[in-house]
Amino acid sequence: MRSLRFALVALVASTACTTKEARRSDTAAPAAATLAGTPSADAAAIRAAIEAVEAKQVDAVLKGDSTAAGGGYTDDAIVMVPNEKMAIGHDAIVKAFAALLKEGKFTSFTPHIQDLIVAGDYAIETATYDMTIQPKTGKPVHDVGKYLTIWKKQPDGSYKAIRDIFNSDLPMK
């Protein structure tokens, strides 16, 4: 998902929402923002690092690998899924991914970063997604929505998500 944190939550939302005409209307070129004092070159490098983590997460979700999907979260991360209790901590997030991936196969997931605000060791990502899930039975479910992820720079210089929340743009069934 790129930000795949959303993949976990997206399955829950998408199974509750269906539409024949789901379309993403806000896929303009993504924006990047920085707070005063943060050079834009740093922001570009941070964005690239986050996009790399999200690409690995998307790949993991498409392959049905909950352990790899949870790899982009810190040990104390929190993921807030619609209509579910918060998944608190890395192990709970991996367990939540496993439960969701058991219900169906993600056949596509396309994230679109709309904005990235960098502030010191943190980055706040605002993004949208477009995805399709094939449930174990029934027709594929297409969903579009948005998510907000807070990333934190790790001691090794990489970025991992510490908070993640998302929801669908489609009405509930």
Residue 159 has a pLDDT of 97
Average pLDDT over residues 40-50: 86
Residue 39 has a pLDDT of 52
Residue 100 has a pLDDT of 85
117 vs 18, which has greater pLDDT?
117
129 vs 15, which has greater pLDDT?
129
- Using 50, 70 and 90 to split pLDDT, how confident is the model at 11? very low
Residue 40 has a pLDDT of 55
Share of the chain above pLDDT 70, in %: 76
Which pTM does this prediction carry? 0.77
Write the DSSP string, 24-62: ----SPPP-EE-TT--HHHHHHHHHHHHHHHHHHHHHHH
Give the integer Cα–Cα distance in Å for 17 and 157.
38
Average pLDDT over residues 149-168: 96
81 vs 2, which has greater pLDDT?
81
CA geometry: angle 120, 126, 128, nearest 5 deg: 155
pLDDT digits (tens, 9 = 90+) for 117-156: 999 999 999 999 999 999 999 999 999 999 999 999 999 9
Residue 98 has a pLDDT of 92
Domains and CATH numbers, the chain: 5-18+28-168 (3.10.450.50)
Residue 24 has a pLDDT of 43
Shortest CA distance to 128 belongs to which of 140, 114, 118, 116?
Answer: 114
Beta carbons of 8 and 81 less than 8 angstroms apart: yes
User: Considering all CA atoms of the chain, what is the largest pairwise distance in Å, rounded to the nearest integer?
Assistant: 52
